[in-house]
């Protein structure tokens, strides 16, 4: 959910069922870090997770997933992936991954701001990390433009 939405873990932990909307297609984040309320669309796999958790009869969507449990699960996952000692592999990196995926798919800046709940374009730029490998489509387009007629 965090990597699919860019939500902070504590934002997910605070979710209540009243915040899960329209057949689990969106969630409402209340009292975000910036004091705003925001509606976040869910990918199908995240919506499926929310429906499954609701069918289990949980009092809250992430009931039982305390901060300690989140951190312990994260440590297990990064160890399994070979990132146990990587200081950059922290829970917050999922927010950056989400923004980078949006940028890689040429999502317009305004839509990125809305998806992530950012108030300024500079915040989007801080989180979206592209490198030269993400520019292949630009180069292909340029090659077509410069091709002899």
The pLDDT assigned to 120 comes to 72
Residue carrying the six token digits 């509606």? 39
> Could you write out the three-class secondary structure of 107-135?
CCHHHHHHHHCCCCHHHHHHHCCCCHHHH
What digits encode the pLDDT tens for the residues 84-107?
898 888 777 888 888 888 888 888
Higher pLDDT, 107 or 31: 107
d(CA 77, CA 63): 20
For residue 44, the tally of other CB atoms under 10 A from its CB is 10
What digits encode the pLDDT tens for the residues 106-131?
888 778 777 776 667 777 777 777 66
Q: How confident is the model at residue 35 (pLDDT cuts 50, 70, 90)?
A: low
pTM: 0.71
């Amino acid at each position: 959910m965090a990597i699919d939405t860019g939500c902070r873990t504590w934002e997910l932990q605070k979710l209540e069922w009243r915040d899960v909307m329209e057949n689990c297609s969106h969630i409402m984040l209340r009292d975000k870090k910036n004091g705003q309320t925001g509606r976040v669309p869910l990918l199908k796999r995240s919506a499926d997770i929310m429906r499954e958790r609701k069918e289990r009869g949980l009092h809250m969507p992430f009931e039982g997933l305390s901060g300690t449990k989140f951190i312990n699960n994260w440590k297990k996952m990064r160890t399994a992936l070979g990132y146990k000692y990587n200081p950059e592999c922290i829970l917050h990196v999922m927010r950056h991954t989400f923004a980078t995926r949006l940028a890689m798919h040429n999502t317009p800046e305004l839509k990125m701001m809305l998806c992530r709940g950012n108030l300024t374009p500079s915040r989007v730029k801080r989180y979206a990390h592209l490198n030269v490998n993400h520019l292949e489509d630009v180069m292909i387009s340029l090659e077509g433009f410069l091709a002899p007629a």
